[in-house]
Chain A
Amino acid sequence: MSTTMLRNSTLLRSALRSAVPTTTRVAAFSSSAPIKAQATLPDLPYDYGALEPAISGQIMELHHSKHHQTYVTNYNAARTKMADALQSGDIATAIATQPAINFNGGGNINHTLFWENLAPKSQGGGEPPSGPLAKSIDDHYGSLEKLKEVFNTQLAGIQGSGWCWLVQDNETGALQVKTYANQDPVVGRWHPLLGVDAWEHAYYLQYENKKVEYFKNIWSVINWKTAEKRMK
């Protein structure tokens, strides 16, 4: 069931960019750490039902309000644990906490980027890219259709949970299609332009085991404008 709350696109807040206002200055060495460092669940710039029929409102609501929320909550807990361990010089605990930071922090990053690179058809979802990104896609892949083919083949090849991303090489500016396991985020040499969630929770209620259909349909709600903005 989709929510009927209206989402004003100008109120989009990204967990990566937002600073939750705080009236108290927290001491630098307190274990709760500056509130600014806490992650928060970003609002969607569209209704839960707005991406239908590509992605059902029921999936969007669960995916955003439950799955993404859990990554936010668990990242915050892991971050506090990590901060405390570093503070007290407990290196073993700091290292033991790394997987939780990677998984939940990555989950928060990935989903935040995902919501932004989806859009209802009425807001440009599905409209092909233009400008430098369009040119780069043609240069690398020959055409947008060929890129989608490469992308969907990689999506289908994921063994377990993961994501497929169109990424840009920070050194050369070149494009690549790369899959990442679980919630590993796109970091380091590449930066993310456009991602698709291939975890089963992203499609199962609607598509069941027929993931290839999901991979095909999602292109109708891909927000290429966002990918263009992410290009460097």
Chain B
Amino acid sequence: STTFVRTKVTLPDLKYDYAALEPAISGKIMELHHSKHHQTYVNSYNDAADKLSAASNTGDVVAQIALQPLINFHGGGHINHTLFWENLAPKNSGGGAPPSGELSKQIDSTFGSLEEVKKKFNTALAGIQGSGWAWLVKDTQTGGIGIKTYANQDPVVGQFKPLLGVDAWEHAYYLQYNNRKAEYFTAIWDVINWKAAEERFAKA
């Protein structure tokens, strides 16, 4: 049988200061979100992955399956937040600047316009019942793009590839926007890094 060894995941650094996304997202939120919430997903994923490795090495199938929700939740949380920080940027680093190239063409042909995709995206965000994310995704079956919501920390895997995500968990906005989440969904477009989405689209 094969013994699996793995390296720990680590919290990625942000490419910008905590306060750099203001006024769309407050520095206080960014600091808590990155250094507490995301850090916890990293720590908890490492813990769960260690346990999974151990169970795998002893052939304990029951334990491996019992660990799956923790891997999904914390591993997904780590993946989602890592992608999120990359698809945000301060205005002086391109945040809010509209997409160009192939992705822009796809947006126009699929949704009609950038404004239309934002509208549909925000409607999807507003419709999330509980915690979750909305993603612009690429469908690997058709090559086309679409908007999908994912519950809790379920990551974008399988048929779809993540292009651009927005965190709709209350911790992502509550200190600044309270219950007025529609305001947050509107404001965040000012700091969306379309360049990251274009790069992902090219690779997907």
Which A residues are CB-close (under 8 A) to B132? 160
- For residue A22, CB closer than 8 A to chain B, the reply is no
Distance A70 CA – B73 CA, assembled complex (angstroms): 28
For B175, the chain A residues whose CB sits under 8 A away are 204-205, 208
Q: Mark B47-84, 1 if CB is under 8 A from A, else 0.
A: 00000000000000000000001000100000000000
User: For chain A residues 45-84, which have a beta carbon within 8 Å of chain B?
Assistant: 62, 66-67, 70
> Which residues of A line the B interface, CB within 8 A?
62, 66-67, 70, 99, 103, 159-162, 181-183, 199-201, 204-205, 208-209
Q: How far is the CA of A106 from the CA of B170 in the complex (A)?
A: 19
Shortest beta-carbon distance, A170 to chain B, in Å? 26
Contacts of B171 in A (CB 8 A): 200, 204, 209
Interface centre among B32, B37, B178 (most CB of A within 10 A): B178
* Chain A residues with CB under 8 A of B69: 159
Could you count the A-B residue pairs with CB atoms below 8 Å apart for me: how many are there? 53
Interface residues of B in 143-177 (CB under 8 A from A): 151-153, 169-171, 174-175
Residues of B within 8 A of A (CB): 32, 36-37, 40, 69, 73, 129-132, 151-153, 169-171, 174-175, 178-179
- Contact check: which of A62, A67, A161 meets B130 at CB < 8 Å? A161
* 23 intermolecular pairs with C-beta atoms under 8 Å apart: A62-B178, A62-B179, A66-B178, A99-B129, A103-B129, A159-B152, A160-B132, A160-B151, A160-B153, A161-B131, A162-B130, A183-B129, A200-B131, A200-B169, A200-B171, A204-B174, A204-B175, A205-B174, A205-B178, A208-B32, A209-B36, A209-B37, A209-B171
Is A159's CB under 8 angstroms from B170's CB? Answer: no
Q: Which residues of B contact A209 (CB under 8 A)?
A: 32, 36-37, 40, 171
In contact, B170 and A199 (Cβ under 8 angstroms): yes
Shortest Cβ distance from residue B72 to the other chain A in the assembled complex, whole angstroms: 8
User: When chains A and B are docked, how far (Å) is the Cα of A158 from the Cα of B171?
Assistant: 15
A208 to B179 CA separation, bound complex (whole angstroms):
15
Chain B residues with Cβ below 8 Å from A201 are 170, 174, 179
Contact in complex: B170, A204 (CB < 8 Å): yes
Cα-based distance from A196 to B174 in the complex (angstroms): 19
Nearest-CB distance from B185 to chain A (Å)? 15
B70 closest partner in A (C-beta) = A159
Residues of B within 8 A of A208 (CB): 32, 36, 175
Q: What A residues does B174 contact at CB under 8 A?
A: 200-201, 204-205
Bound-state CA distance A172–B151 (Å) is: 34
- CB of B170 within 8 A of CB of A182, answer no
* Closest B residue, CB atoms, query A200: B170
Closest-by-CB residue of A relative to B37 is A209
Interface pair B131/A160, CB less than 8 Å apart = yes
Docked Cα-Cα span, A199 to B129, in Å, equals 11
Residue of B nearest to A210 (CB): B36
B68: min CB distance to chain A, Å: 12
Chain A positions within 8 Å of B153 at CB level: 159-160
In the complex, residue of chain B having the shortest beta-carbon distance to the beta carbon of A63 = B179
Interface contacts beyond A159-B73, A161-B131: sample of 14 additional A-B pairs, CB < 8 Å, sorted by A: A66-B179, A67-B179, A159-B153, A160-B130, A160-B131, A160-B152, A161-B170, A199-B130, A200-B171, A201-B170, A205-B175, A205-B178, A209-B32, A209-B40
> A201 — nearest CB in chain B belongs to which residue?
B170
Nearest CB in chain A to that of B69: its residue: A159
Q: How far is the CB of A28 from chain B (nearest CB, A)?
A: 31
Write the nearest CB–CB distance from B63 to chain A, whole angstroms: 17
- Given A159-B69, A159-B73, A160-B152, answer yes or no on A70-B131 (Cβ-Cβ < 8 Å): no
- Is A182's CB under 8 angstroms from B129's CB? yes
A48 and B132 alpha carbons, distance in the complex (Å):
29
